[in-house]
Structure 1
Amino acid sequence: MGNTNKFWTGVLAGAIAGGLISLLDRDTRHAVGDKYGKIAKNISYGFTHPKEIATTVIEKTKEFKETASQISEDISFITKKIDEIRELTPEVTGLVKETKEAFLKEHS
């Protein structure tokens, strides 16, 4: 058990060290700062406008449910058509065989 803890501690320490070393590059620092600023702005907006966020989440959830329902209906329709084709295939095969036999008899 102790070796596992040392492993994950080492992995975490390595990740932190790698992150800090990557921040030595100016472009990386600016990119991280810009991204952090955008995230902080979005979080701040969420705290100051909770009703708007809740409304948006509710709307997106409703859209997702409607889309899922439509997909389910489409799948049911396609499945029904596939079943119809499966039922029709033996009839079509028989008709083709009969037609072939009729042509062969005429040409004989």
Structure 2
Amino acid sequence: MKLAYAALAAASLAALSQPAVAQQAQAPSAQQMAPVSDAELENFVIAASMIGQIQRSEEIAGAEKEKAAMQVLSQAQMTPQRFNTIGAALQTSETLQARVDQTLARLKKEQAEG
């Protein structure tokens, strides 16, 4: 999935480690979670960046923020539960954190190369 890479420029790992979508979903621990493919991780990184921008936006009303976030997840082909599970795993898994760092670096490099 190649969503707007410009969203990555403003991404911070803080936004990635604190999922802001569908708080009703309880995320299992990293050991219980299904493996995260490289493509799914890329979708997560891009979606988290875009959702972070939505959450910080002062131009979007509160109720509309969740709708917009859900639309981003739909485009990323990710359920709120899976998004939250990956986000929760990021808080405890150094391996997953390293993969996110690599994904961010690769996407930024691709963006810079055009």
Q: Same-fold call, TM > 0.5?
A: no
TM-score computed with the length of structure 2 as normaliser: 0.29
Q: Which has the higher contact order (CA 8 A, sep 6+)?
A: 2
Higher Rg of the two aligned structures: 1
